[in-house]
């Protein structure tokens, strides 16, 4: 059986192959409003963008080594917009002089047949979740504050429960390779969010 056709387009313009510079942290539910108030004062958009997304994580297991992982995400609040397909490379965490996590990022927009296409290509869905929250921007910096919820019935995004009593906070920049000055800008911005939230360079492998 042939895989259903799927169309993809670059998200970032110019090139779809970028580096993601990332710091992460969390804030308890009761401290959320204080953090949002601080971000409104620091960022370009006083009123943040809001989002509600459904993300599916797909794995393709090979003969050896780690499985190949792709992330497919769709908007629940704007169901007609294209899906997003993301590949995130292994983080470059060995360089102690870097204050942020750096990893390759390929991000494309895809048509709504994306899940069927991935299944036909041999990928299998590993897990899915719903993310709802706010997006702030400060120049090229992006701050995402999101509540993650597990899906209790596969495919039913209305039947969820929160994964924790906190919000995930991510400070990131997408830029071509070699833009290491970004890390200083990010560290400076992260300092302004203390003590409400402590954003750190986190190695995902240590939390698996």
Over residues 107-140, the pLDDT tens digits come to 999 999 999 999 999 999 999 999 999 999 999 9
- Both tokens of 200, joined, read 């750190």
Cβ-based neighbour number of residue 92 at 10 Å: 13
Q: What is the pTM of this model?
A: 0.88
pLDDT value at residue 203: 72
Element spanning 65, H or E: none
Q: What is the DSSP string of 8-52?
A: EEESSSS-SEEEEEEEEEEEEGGGHHHHHHHHHHHSS-SS-EEEE
Instruction: For residue 9, name the pLDDT band (cuts at 50, 70, 90).
Output: low
How far apart CA 60 and CA 66 sit, in angstroms, is 9
Question: Which domains occur in the chain, in start order?
Answer: 16-190 (2.40.320.10)
pLDDT digits (tens, 9 = 90+) for 146-192: 999 999 999 899 999 999 999 999 999 998 877 778 889 999 999 99
The two tokens of residue 167 are 């919000």
């Amino acid at each position: 059986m042939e895989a259903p056709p799927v169309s993809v387009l670059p998200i970032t313009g110019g090139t779809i192959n970028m580096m993601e510079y990332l710091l992460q942290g969390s804030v308890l539910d009761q401290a959320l409003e204080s953090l949002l108030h601080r971000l409104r004062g620091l960022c370009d958009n006083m009123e943040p963008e809001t989002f509600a997304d459904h993300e599916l994580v797909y794995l393709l297991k090979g003969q050896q080594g780690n499985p190949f992982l792709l992330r497919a995400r769709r908007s629940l609040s704007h169901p007609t917009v294209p899906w997003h397909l993301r590949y995130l490379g292994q983080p470059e965490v060995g360089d102690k002089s870097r204050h942020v996590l750096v990893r390759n990022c390929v991000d494309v927009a895809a048509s709504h047949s994306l899940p069927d296409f991935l299944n036909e290509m041999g990928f299998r869905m590993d897990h899915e979740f719903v993310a709802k929250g706010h997006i702030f921007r400060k120049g090229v910096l992006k701050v995402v504050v999101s509540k993650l919820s597990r899906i209790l019935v596969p495919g039913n995004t209305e039947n969820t429960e929160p994964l924790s009593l906190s919000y995930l906070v991510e400070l990131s920049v997408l830029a071509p390779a070699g833009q290491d000055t970004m890390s200083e800008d990010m560290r400076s911005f992260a300092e302004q969010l203390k003590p409400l939230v402590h954003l750190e360079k986190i190695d995902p492998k240590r939390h698996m």
